[in-house]
Amino acid sequence: MTTKQQAQARDEGAGRAAVVTGGSRGIGRAVSLKLAQDGLAVVVNYAGDTAAAEETVAAIRDSGGRAVGVRADVADERAVAALFDRAEEEFGGVDVVVNSAGRLALSPIADLDLDVLDAVHRTNIRGTFVVAQQAARRLRAGGSFVGFSTSVVGTRFPAYGAYAASKGAVEAMTLILARELRGRDITVNTVAPGPTATDMFLDGKTPEMIDQLAKTPPLERLGTPEDIANVVAFLTGPEGHWINGQILRANGGMV
């Protein structure tokens, strides 16, 4: 992006504010930085890594942006309500909500500890629902909600049963929420990344597994957090406002 384009993007985003859950690391961090680059004030939500959140907030402020970090468990409705309260207190309202907080567990269905299943679904299903509730109540006209799924809902790789099931629920909510917000000029979409080079994705995988997954898309590489952040910025910006109720598989050409 040229300097002129960056200035134009900042002008378009001026006066707007975003809440990004899971905004301190991985894709969430990239989304926070990208939206701030586009001129939005950003509430960087995090679950427990205060240092990572502070680093993300500092990076935004050092670049001339506006940001605050707010700790909250996305599955806790009181904490999420307080998160949105803080956004309104700091920046006057909320125009963009990006729910990138998520939990991953890999295991064959037959072997998965059901306590792990409950933890995954608490964050990925209940957490999405709780954040979507607040977004539906508080987003200003012209706003956008973006949830996160996974391309594994389509590829159906073994060991992803619990994770894919939780993200299938997110996809089911998407068009329903878009229709429930009829007449308010608010879009609701879900981004479903393919293999993306984040700590969560890379953790526990051998170099051979990573190389194999990188070669799966026709573009023959892993996605980057910045690839996904650019998609989110498009969906939440004026150019993407006609896209509504959709699942966008940002995966380089996988199923």
Catalytic residues: 163
Provide the token pair at 197.
């080079």
Sheet holding 17-21, edge to edge: 67-71, 41-46, 17-21, 94-99, 139-148, 187-191, 247-248
| CB 171 within 8 Å of CB 124 | no
Max Cα-Cα span within the chain: 55
Q: Which residues contact 10 (CB under 8 A, 6 or more apart)?
A: 37, 38, 39
Within 13 Å of residue 252, how many CA atoms lie on the same side as its CB? Answer: 16
198 vs 244: CA distance, rounded Å: 27
Evaluated on CA atoms 35, 51, 150, 199, the torsion sign reads: positive
Provide the token pair at 251.
């995966």
The residue among 39, 57, 33, 140 whose CA lies nearest residue 96 is: 140
| CB 187 within 8 Å of CB 167 | no
At residue 86, what are phi and psi to the nearest 5 degrees? -65, -40
Provide the token pair at 67.
């940001």
Residue 71's DSSP bridge partners are: 46
